[in-house]
Structure 1
Amino acid sequence: MAGSADAHTRPAPRRCREATFRRHRRHVDGERGAALVEMALVLPLLLLIVFGIIEFGTTYSNYIGLRDGVRNAARSGAVGNFGQSESCGLEDADEASVSIQRLMCLTKRQTGLDQNAVRVKIFSANSTFTGPGTFAKNDALIICAQVPTKAVTGFLGTALTGKTLRTKVAMRIERSDIVATAGEEDPPPGENWSWCTYQALAV
């Protein structure tokens, strides 16, 4: 009889293990479901942060390139080094002298950005920035440039659409033999050159 009773009770541990396994599996499945829900909530925010960092970093890098390129070109122009070529796809800059057209192209190349997107204006102001100059010695050589921003990832395209990077640099002309005529390209669509004047540089 004792052996028979033992035979009837042997499956009990197996049933307990199965019940425990089912409870554990339900617990694991519940944790997985909760993790998926958390991921679905966090992932959009994480992507926004990551892509935002990429877009901000790229835009800031482009601005630094634009600023440095304009500064380097202005420094070259101030000592009479206008570059060697005026063939860079200038947009309606025919009124500028050949030397200024070459300096425009040099400016575009110095930025390291898309030359077709960068637009340049070059002119001169007198030494006190109270009136226009003639590119004479001690006059100021002023270069302005602007380029539209664009999204790299496409994730924040609406935030960057219609925005423009701008910069303006003035250098004192060191040569007395510069003969040049100011000029400007057509600005990017929807933009203008009203911000690019010598008045804003007066001290």
Structure 2
Amino acid sequence: MMAIRARSGAPRREGGAAAVEFALVLPLLLLLIFGIIDYGMFFFDSIGMRQGAREAARSAVVLRVDATACGSTISYDNIACTARTGSNNILGKAAGAVTGGGPAQVKVYMKLQTNGSNAAGWVQGNQFVMCTQVAEKPATGFVPFPANGIMTSKVVMSIESAASAPSGSLVTDAAPAGGDWTWC
């Protein structure tokens, strides 16, 4: 039988190598984690803003507004208010990722498009276009946002009720810094 002898000499230490590898990988790992957090919040807020614009456009084409938040008058201003407050649950953080915070930062642009065979204006079958944008900055600041952090949403719906047009004039807010309305 052969006897197994222990190796002579001191045992090898690899604890230092693992610490060096961890120190090299940690910055990349943190950048990846913060990027996931920032982009997750960006896409979450983008979906919320799109939903707010969709709800406002839908309430416009059927001539109904949220009377509790924006008043009971069917007006373009109240429709814009519905778009802003519809985004409030997502973007209405007092000190959140949205520049300045709150639904007041959601900018609204409205227009009417003819169906081709219809006359211009608020006519059944014509299209109501609701566009919204907001400037958002990353929460962690480690990764840049697409389009300089300008989130956009465009909703087009056919006018269903033409019994009477909303009062007032179509809303055109100033675009946020770095944004414009040419895409709408």
TM class by shorter-chain length?
0.7 to 0.9
1:86 CA displacement: 5.1
Q: Which segments of structure 1 move beyond 2 Å, counting only runs of 4 or more?
A: 82-87, 130-133, 160-163
Instruction: Tell me the equivalent position of 1:82.
Output: 65
1:58 CA displacement: 1.0
Q: 1:115 to 1:164 in 2, by over 3 A?
A: same
* 1:147 and 2:134 matched: yes
* 1:174 and 2:157 matched: no
Instruction: Tell me the equivalent position of 1:4.
Output: none
The share of aligned pairs that are identical, in percent, is: 32
1:131 CA displacement: 9.6
Q: What TM-score does the superposition give when structure 2 sets the normalisation length?
A: 0.77
Q: How many residues align?
A: 160
Question: How do 1:110-149 and structure 2 match up within 5 A?
Answer: 110-111=86-87, 112=89, 113=91, 114-128=102-116, 133-149=120-136
CA distance in 1, matches of 2:65, 2:126: 16
Q: 1:133 to 1:125 in 2, by over 3 A?
A: farther
| Amino acid in structure 2 at the alignment position of 1:144 | C
CA distance in 1, matches of 2:155, 2:172: 15
| Amino acid in structure 2 at the alignment position of 1:150 | K
| Amino acid in structure 2 at the alignment position of 1:172 | S
Question: How do 1:1-203 and structure 2 match up within 5 A?
Answer: 23-24=10-11, 27-28=12-13, 31-84=14-67, 99-111=75-87, 112=89, 113=91, 114-128=102-116, 133-156=120-143, 159-160=144-145, 162-176=148-162, 177-180=164-167, 181-196=169-184
- SS of alignment partner, residue 183 of structure 1: coil
Q: 1:56 to 1:102 in 2, by over 3 A?
A: same
The answer to whether the Cα contact below 8 Å between 1:146 and 1:166 also exists between their aligned partners in 2 is yes
1:165 CA displacement: 0.9
Structure number, greater radius of gyration? 1
1:41-77 CA-partner distances (Å, limit 9, x unpaired): 1101111111111111111111111112111111111
Relative to its length, the structure with more helix (as a share) is 1
The answer to whether the Cα contact below 8 Å between 2:127 and 2:158 also exists between their aligned partners in 1 is yes
| Amino acid in structure 1 at the alignment position of 2:110 | I
RMSD: 2.5
Q: 1:83 to 1:135 in 2, by over 3 A?
A: farther
The answer to whether the Cα contact below 8 Å between 2:74 and 2:166 also exists between their aligned partners in 1 is no
1:149 CA displacement: 2.3
Q: 1:100 to 1:134 in 2, by over 3 A?
A: same
CA distance in 1, matches of 2:28, 2:118: 52
Q: 1:139 to 1:73 in 2, by over 3 A?
A: same
**Gapped regions of structure 1 (runs ≥ 5):** 1-18, 88-96, 197-203
**Gapped regions of structure 2 (runs ≥ 5):** 1-7, 92-101
1:116-173 CA-partner distances (Å, limit 9, x unpaired): 2210111211124x999412222211100011121012222xx128331111111111
1:83 CA displacement: 3.4
1:81-118 CA-partner distances (Å, limit 9, x unpaired): 1333559xxxxxxxxx9711111110011123231221
| Amino acid in structure 2 at the alignment position of 1:138 | G
